[in-house]
Amino acid sequence: MSLEQVLSSRPRLKILMMLVQLGELNVSEIARRLGTNYDATSKHLKVLEDEGILQHKTFGRIRLYRLNPQSTKTKVLQTLIEIWEQSEKA
């Protein structure tokens, strides 16, 4: 998937910003914060995970998502988000 396809989605960008700030969240909490339903949120998370940007761990029925620290894509996106947010505060 191209960069444009991954980043052209507002919910995916919000998910990335959320996880940069908060670290780890489950699908239901991400959906609640986005104001979207569980299924739509799961689809966005799957795209990000398929690209290697996110990873998850499962505890019973709960799936926690976080940024994939081994991914070069993740490191670049995380740096971009952090710099962007710092410049907004300045």
Q: Domains of the chain, with CATH numbers?
A: 3-89 (1.10.10.10)
Note the helical H segments in the chain: 3-7, 10-22, 27-34, 38-50, 72-89
Q: What is the pTM of this model?
A: 0.90
| Angle value at C-alpha 43, between 61 and 10, nearest 5 degrees | 125
pLDDT of residue 23: 94
Beginning with the edge strand found earlier in the chain, give each strand of the sheet holding 62-67 in spatial order. 24-26, 62-67, 54-59
* Sequential pLDDT tens for the chain (90 residues): 888 888 889 999 999 999 999 999 999 999 999 999 999 999 999 999 999 999 999 999 999 999 999 999 999 999 999 999 889 887
pLDDT of residue 44: 97
pLDDT of residue 7: 86
pLDDT of residue 1: 82
| CB neighbourhood size of 8 (10 A) | 10
Contact predicate 54/66, CB 8 Å: yes
